[in-house]
A and B are shown apart, each in its own frame.
Chain A
Amino acid sequence: MPDIYHFFQMLVNGLNVGSTYALIAIGYTMVYGIIGMINFAHGEVYMIGSYIAFIAIAGLTMMGLDSVPLLMTAAFIASIVVTSAYGYSIERVAYRPLRGSNRLIPLISAIGMSLFLQNLVLMSQDSKDKSIPNLIPGGFSFGPGGAQEVIVSYMQIVVFVVTVLAMWGLTLFISRSRMGRACRACAEDMKMANLLGINTNNVIALTFVIGAALAAVAAVLISMQYGVINPNAGFMVGLKAFTAAVLGGIGSIPGAMLGGLVLGVAEAFGGDIFGDQYKDVVAFGLLVLVLLFRPSGILGRPEVEKV
């Protein structure tokens, strides 16, 4: 049964790609859940995360440090800290001054922010592709070999594990902590939460920071796995993650996780069955299908008309 190996290989690849989509999708879905707007600069936040990881690894390697756990930790910490700062600044510069204005205006300022960040990196880092070494090469292989083989690289396992940890941490934070409760309250009714003494500005800033931190985690994982980063990478990844968020039900955190995984697996199998060139067609076709039957996404709550 060679097909069973092929099937599992596709499943592994799909889940791998899907889990990174899910991480980025959370940034879109949390911001939407709370202020009802799409952060179009989120793809750029991801791209900046990958550059910070690159700079951290390159810097440490130049200083003569080459221990893998150290480099990985440094890349994660540097990327999460700096990227979160970017997330916070985006909220302060592009969203907070425009709070309460027409919904289209922050949309424009977010697109402007996205262009600004992309060109900032283009000018400071130049337009050539940069390469990040794969710190943990190799992998497990199951099956007799040749075409009948499932290869799971160590990096893919790291991606799974880190994604699951990050998701678990986020779920705990949202459901158990004080700030998490404040987030849920704001998502439910911002004005009421404000009246009850929650500093909504802080909560909104926090969602941007959490989204950026998870995008940074995804950026470190993706750049290490694929080994190359460039200033234009944010757009497509952002679009895919946004699709995942909508697919799962925008505004819902478990929805974003599920949407990412479904999208990744659908892409892997769609690419296999219809040809690689139709991968995106399958992904977006699936989105259209789901939205036809469940307009609010797989796990989304139906929109309640507010009076």
Chain B
Amino acid sequence: MAKKQITRLFAAMVLAGVASHSFAADTIKIGIAGPKTGPVTQYGDMQFMGAKQAIKDINEKGGVDGKKLEAVEYDDACDPKQAVAVANKVVNDGVKFVVGHLCSSSTQPASDIYEDEGIIMITPAATSPEITSRGYKLIFRTIGLDSAQGPAAGNYIAKFVKPKVVAVLHDKQQYGEGIATAVKQTLEKDGVKVAVFEGINAGDKDFASIIGKLKQANVDFVYYGGYHPELGLILRQAKEKGLNAKFMGPEGVGNDSISQIAQGASEGLLVTLPKSFDTDPANKAIADAIKADKQDPSGPFVFPAYSAVQLIAKGIEAAKSEDPTKVAEAIHAGTFKTPTGDLSYDAKGDLKDFKFVVYEWHFGQPKTEVSPQ
């Protein structure tokens, strides 16, 4: 009985400490920033899920140097303006470590503030090369770059698909056009001619004219740089119009919605994705814990977010300090074992080695890995 009361007293004290924003530092605050509302909420959920699971697991093992981690969640709605407001709030809240943001467009302006204010930011999802190209010391990511995904796809097409007539399409946006251009350059380097290279309008519903053009050019392979809503419709309409071509896309098309939209036409679609960490036997315990919470661990950003939290924890342990500058130096210097592999960083804050894997989509069945090991 007495023991229970002491526990309660202790809990009350901790709560009081948190409530009054005291800097007694019994906990290390980890900010998790990403979209909890807006059109890309489903990706944000993956990030929050992975990061919170990591914090829970670390706390169960006794925390970092005896201190517990505490999650503080922020919603940026994937909106650059709101991301800046969130970043300022992070500064005011005295949070020194941030996992996020999700969208490249909101990560970029937020990272300016974090770097200036001496806060470490690790994004598990933003893939735009520009984010780490500005000489920042405190900005890292646990995911690959757009500029790496394009060549991976291009090499796979040239080496294994060996199509006769290739078309590369994109949605004219930073992400889609960037990847599509990289794919085209890689293909041309490998001696594959790109017959059609064109943009389409994001948000469009009717792709009859572009499909007519692909048919006229006798295209048998199409790479699409962009997101799932447009590719889903293109797949569906291509099948209706009798275009016999194989399609491929980046991780922006690789989610369940594509099968929802394209239905049977999604069969055989190739997608470059980060390796599925949730099916890796070494991560079974984590995946099971997430499933036990009735959540889905298979999203592409769940494990990178988990690793981002671990990276912060291990960085603090390696630096023997909570000073973000020292932690960042430790992260740059070391190699850290995480569920997404052994992470080591170059001077820019990018992973030295991040592999994309090619998956084949099946309608009504789980995707299969097709890239050679």
Residues of chain A having any CB pair with chain B under 8 Å: 2, 6, 9-10, 13, 16-17, 127-131, 133, 137, 139, 141, 146-147, 149, 151, 153, 222, 226-228, 230, 232-233, 236-237, 267-269, 271-272, 275-277, 279-280
Contact = CB atoms under 8 A, between A and B. Distances in A.
A13 B213 CA distance: 13
A228 B203 CA distance: 12
Nearest to B215: A147
Given A131-B260, A236-B203, A279 B229 contact: no
Contacts of A236: 203-204
B39 interface: yes
22 contacts: A9-B208, A9-B212, A13-B206, A128-B257, A129-B260, A129-B261, A130-B260, A131-B260, A147-B218, A149-B215, A222-B205, A226-B205, A226-B236, A228-B229, A228-B261, A236-B204, A267-B209, A271-B209, A271-B210, A276-B199, A276-B210, A279-B201
Given A276-B210, A277-B172, A2 B216 contact: yes
A279 B209 contact: yes
Nearest to B217: A147
Interface of B: 38-39, 41-42, 172, 198-201, 203-210, 212-213, 215-216, 218, 228-229, 232-233, 236-237, 240-242, 257, 260-261, 263
B201 A276 contact: yes
A276 B198 contact: yes
Contacts of B260: 129-131, 228
Nearest to A277: B199
Q: Chain B interface mostly helix, strand, loop or mixed?
A: helix
A266 to B, nearest CB: 11
A280 B201 contact: yes
Contacts of B215: 146-147, 149
B257 A10 contact: no
Contacts of A139: 240
Given A17-B206, A131-B261, A133-B263, A226 B212 contact: no
Contacts of B210: 271, 276
Q: Which 3 interchain pairs have the tightest Cβ spacing? A: A271-B209, A277-B199, A13-B208
Nearest to B259: A131
Given A147-B218, A277-B200, A272 B233 contact: no
A228 to B, nearest CB: 5
A277 B204 CA distance: 10
B208 A228 contact: no
Contacts of A279: 201, 204, 209
Contacts of A13: 206, 208-209, 212
Contacts of B233: 226-228
B242 A141 contact: yes
Contacts of B172: 277
A226 B240 contact: no
Contacts of A133: 263
A2 B236 CA distance: 24
Contacts of A2: 216
B212 A277 contact: no
Contacts of A146: 215, 218
Contacts of B199: 275-277
A127 B257 CA distance: 12
Contacts of A153: 240
A202 to B, nearest CB: 36
Contacts of B204: 236, 279
A28 B62 CA distance: 65
Contact of A131 (B203, B206, B216, B263): B263
A260 to B, nearest CB: 14
A227 B263 contact: yes
Given A10-B209, A13-B212, A228-B233, A128 B241 contact: no
Contacts of B212: 6, 9-10, 13, 272
A135 B209 CA distance: 23
Nearest to A237: B205
Nearest to B256: A128
Nearest to B42: A128
Given A147-B215, A227-B236, A277 B198 contact: yes
A130 B257 CA distance: 9
A88 B128 CA distance: 47
A127 B205 CA distance: 17
Contacts of B206: 13, 17, 226
A72 B208 CA distance: 24
Contacts of B261: 129, 131, 227-228
